[in-house]
Amino acid sequence: MYLSNKAQLFSLDIMLALVPLTIALGISANAMSGVVNQMQEYSDAYHMRRMAIDAADVIVKTAGTPEDWESNNSPSIVGLAVFDTASNRTEPNKLDINKIENMSGAYLADLLAGEFSYYNLSIYPINASADVSWFENVSWSGGSRADKKDIVVVERFAYLENGTNTTFVGVRLEVGR
């Protein structure tokens, strides 16, 4: 068989070899594109979760601004924790029953800064064995949950007392968009 001495860079063989290489690169590019989209979704979900967690932190661990907003003011930032005026300090994860009674959905919407088209905050007693008839579930919400693609739920725990009545409560914040 005759053998040519010319280079074979553009031969049929290399063209055939490029076929699987091109397929592999195509798959890689597609996968890369998918990863970018995936990372975008993760980033959005993370951002949403982060906001919900931070909002729940503010509600459970701070007394709000001003600290005595429940008595005579609308809060610029709402928080439900007890503020001990004697020691001048907030008691994190210890909720003030007066603040709960004065809480409203509008305050919650302000705290969430319009980031979510749906939100729901509920507080419910946990102690199954204790008598918690003095405190019933309370909730504040805005928007409709039905058509939301992404929903994030954050659940926290706190302590609540009203005179001699005490209970542990769950604080559940649900947001969606």
Partner 1 sequence: MSKGNGFIFTMDAIIALVPVFIIVASVSTPGTADSIALQSQFLGDMRKGNDILVSMSAGDAFDTANSSAVNETLGSLIPPNLGYNFTMTYDLNGTESLEIFNLSRGNMSEAESVMEAEQVGLYWTQEIVDDVHMVSHNAFNESASCAGDAESGNATYNMTVYVSSADMAEYDYYFVVDKDDTGSLAAWVQTCQFPFCTPDNDGCEDISWSDITIPKFDSSVSYNMSKYYFSKNYLYPDSVNYVYVKVTGSGEYADFYVMKALKKMDEDFVDPETARNPQVVFVSLKIWREE
105-114, long-range: CB < 8 A, 24+ apart:
105/140, 105/141, 105/142, 107/74, 107/75, 107/78, 108/78, 108/140, 108/142, 109/142, 110/77, 110/78, 111/55, 111/58, 111/59, 111/77, 111/78, 112/51, 112/55, 112/175
Name residues contacting partner 1, limited to 25-44 (CB under 8 A).
25, 27-28, 31-32, 35, 38, 42
Q: Which of 20, 88, 114, 149 binds partner 1 (CB under 8 A)?
A: 20
Residue closer to partner 1 by CB (options 109, 121) is 121
Name residues contacting partner 1, limited to 95-124 (CB under 8 A).
none
Instruction: Compute the distance between CA of residue 99 and CA of residue 117 in angstroms, rounded to an integer.
Output: 24
Structure tokens of 44?
Answer: 């959005």
Is residue 141 helix, strand or coil? strand
Stretch binding partner 1 (CB under 8 A), from 62-70, 89-97, 110-118, 142-150: 89-97
Size of the site for partner 1 (CB under 8 A): 35
Smallest separation (angstroms) from partner 1 to the CB of 66: 22
Residue closer to partner 1 by CB (options 109, 174) is 174
Residue 49 binds partner 1, judged by CB under 8 A: yes
**For the CA atoms of the chain, what is the radius of gyration?**
29
Residue 7 binds partner 1, judged by CB under 8 A: no
160: left (phi over 0), alpha (psi -120 to 50) or beta: beta
Residue 165 binds partner 1, judged by CB under 8 A: no
Which residues of this chain interact with partner 1, rule CB under 8 A?
A: 1, 3, 13, 16-17, 20-21, 24-25, 27-28, 31-32, 35, 38, 42, 49, 53, 60, 91-94, 126-129, 155-159, 161, 166, 168
